[in-house]
Amino acid sequence: MLYHSLLSYKFPGVFIMVAALFSATFAQTADGFAGQNGGTTGGKGGKVVRATTGTQIHQALCGRTSRDEPVIIEVEGIINHGNTAKASGMCNTADGLIELKSVSNITIIGVGSGAVFDQLGIHIRDAKNIILRNLTVRNVKKSGSPTSNGGDAIGMESNVSNVWVDHCTLEASGGEDEGFDALFDMKNGTKYVTLSYSILKNSGRGGLVGSSDSDKDNGPVTFHHNIYKNIESRTPLLRFATAHSFNNHYDGLSKSGMNPRIGGKIKAENNYFENANNPLGTFYTTDMGYWDVKGNIWGNNVTWVPAEDEFPAGPNVASTISISIPYDYTLDKTECLREILAKTAGAGTNLAVSDGACTTTNINSGMAGSRQNTAYSHPASNFNLLGRTLPNTTVSRIAVTEKGIAINGLGIQHIYSK
C-alpha cells in the first residue's frame, strides 16, 4: 500500500484539493557499498509507470526520452515468458528475460498483491543506479525449458555499478542437475552493490563475485540481513573482490558457504550459521582468500571438513586479515537475528527492517495488498510540495490501494517526493 497525502490550501475565492504521493519507496536509502560511489537512488524523481507484464516493463524502459531519464516501475502480478517481449526505443531489451542493458536511474518495485518473476530472470548489463525491491524471482533455468538469463535469478555483468537489491525473494528448485545456476551473480566489472533483507533459497549456488580467475575487477559488495536457506555453496564465492557480510542467517549449507579465494576478502560480522558444512574458508582451489571475523555464531550442526583443496576456517575460526569498512552501519545482536529476519527478510514483508535493538520497524505497513487505512493530520501552515510553497496549508494523510480513486472530483496522482 502506498501512502497518499492530501493537501488542501486556499487562495482568495478558491478552494483546491491536491493529491500527492509521499512514497515509502524512498523511506529507506541504499546503504552498504551501494551507498558509496555517489550513492544509489534508482528512479527517484522520475515518472511512475505501472506494469503487469514483462512487456510493459520493457515499454516503460523504452518509452523514456533518454536512457538515463529516471523512472519508477511499479509491478504487480506474475511476470513470465508468455507476457514478456522485447520493446524498442531508448532501451536494449530482449525476449525471455527482463533486460536492463545500457540504462541507468531505474527503480523496479513490487506493489499491491506482489510481483513474481516466474522462470524469468533479471539481467543487468552496462547499467548503473538500479534499485530492485519487493520482488520474487523464482525457478530461472539455464537448461531445459523455458530458459532465461543463463539460469541466474538476478545477474549483473559488464560495467555495472551502484545496484541495490532489497526485500527480494530469490529461489530455485534445485541445482545444476535440475537445470538451475545461481541466484545472485556479479561479474565482469560489477561494483558497489548491496543485497539486503532478502531471501535466497533452494538452490545449488547462492552467487559469485567474479566468474573466473581472470575476472579481477568486481566489488565491493555488501550482504546484510539476508536469509540463505538450503543452498549448496557460494554464499558468496569471491574472486579478488571485497565483501562485507553482516547480520545474515545461513541454514542448510550442504557443501560450503562463504568462499573467498584467489585474493578475495570478506568481513563477516554477527552472522548466524546452523546446519552448515564448511560455512567459511577457501574451497576448490589452493589459491587462498582472506577473512575478517567477529561476533558470528556457529550454531547447531556446523561441521568443518578439510580436504586437499578445501581449507575451512574452523573449527577455531580466527581472522586472517583486517578489513576496513568506509561506511557507518549498525549491527544487530547475533542472538536475536533469526527472529528479526523471520519478520523482515524477503518480498511481501512490507519493507520492514530491524531497528538495531532486536525489534523491527515496519516502514511501509500494508504495502503488499493490505486495505487497512491509517490517517494523520497536520495543522495549517506553509507547506513545501516539490519545491513549491503552499501557504496556509492543512495536510492530512490516508492510505489507499485502489486505482482511480477521486477526491472532490480530483484523482490521486503519483508525485514522488525528493
**Tens of pLDDT, residues 243-286:** 999 999 999 999 999 999 999 999 999 999 999 999 999 999 99
What is residue 330's predicted lDDT score, i.e. its pLDDT?
96
Q: With contact defined as beta carbons under 8 Å apart, do 238 and 210 qualify?
A: yes
Closest to 186 in 3D by CA, of 243, 144, 132: 243
Write the CB contacts of 12 (distance below 8 Å, at least 6 apart in sequence): none
Q: What is the share, in percent, of the chain residues with pLDDT greater than 70?
A: 80
Does 92 score more than 90 pLDDT? yes
Task: Parse the chain into domains and list their residue ranges.
Answer: 1-26+364-418, 28-361
What pLDDT band is residue 89 in, cutting at 50, 70 and 90? very high
One-character DSSP codes across 252-279: EESS--BEEETT-EEEEES-EEEEEES-
Residue 196: name the closest of 219, 172, 171, 168 by CA.
Answer: 168
Listed residue (41, 26, 123, 118) closest to 80, CA to CA: 118
Full-model pTM: 0.84
Evaluate the CA torsion angle 235, 182, 325, 45 in order and state its sign: negative
What pLDDT shows up at residue 14? 33
Of 131, 128, 197, 209, the closest CA to residue 168 belongs to 197
Cell numbers linked to 71? 523512472
pLDDT in tens, 369-395: 332 333 333 344 444 444 444 444 444
Q: What is the pLDDT of residue 363?
A: 55
Residues 136-155 as b or e (16 or more Cβ within 10 Å = b):
bbbbbbbeeeebbbbbbbbb
pLDDT (0 to 100) of residue 406:
35
- C-alpha torsion angle, residues 219, 225, 226, 229 (rounded to 10): 130
pLDDT at site 144:
85
pLDDT at 51: 99
234 is an active site residue = yes
CA dist 61 and 214 (Å) reads 33
List, in order, residues 6 or more apart from 99 with CB less than 8 Å away: 58, 86, 91, 92, 93, 123, 125
pLDDT exceeds cutoff 90 at 198: yes
pLDDT digits (tens, 9 = 90+) for 349-363: 999 999 988 888 765
Q: What pLDDT does residue 364 have?
A: 55
Residue with cell 527480494: 168
| Per-residue model confidence as pLDDT tens digits over 19-53 | 333 344 444 799 999 999 999 999 999 999 999 99
Q: 67, 234, 239, 261: which is the annotated catalytic residue? A: 234
Task: State how far the Cα of 406 lies from the Cα of 390, in Å rounded to an integer.
Answer: 21
Confidence check: pLDDT of 366 > 90: no
Contact 176, 210 (CB under 8 A): no
Separation between Cα atoms, residue 162 and residue 35, nearest integer Å = 8
Sign of CA dihedral 135, 32, 341, 400: negative
Q: Which fold has domain 28-361?
A: Pectate Lyase C-like (2.160.20)
**Residues 105/42, Cβ–Cβ less than 8 Å:** yes
139 secondary structure, DSSP code:
-
Give rounded-to-5 percent helix, strand, coil for the chain: 10, 45, 45
- Cβ(182)–Cβ(206) under 8 Å? yes
pLDDT of residue 299: 98
Residues 321 and 310: their CA atoms lie apart, in Å, by 19
Q: How far apart are CA 152 and CA 183, in angstroms?
A: 5
| pLDDT tens digits, one per residue of 168-179 | 999 999 998 899
Mean pLDDT of the chain: 85
**Does the structure show a pLDDT above 50 at 69?**
yes
Q: What are the grid coordinates assigned to 410, written together?
A: 480530483
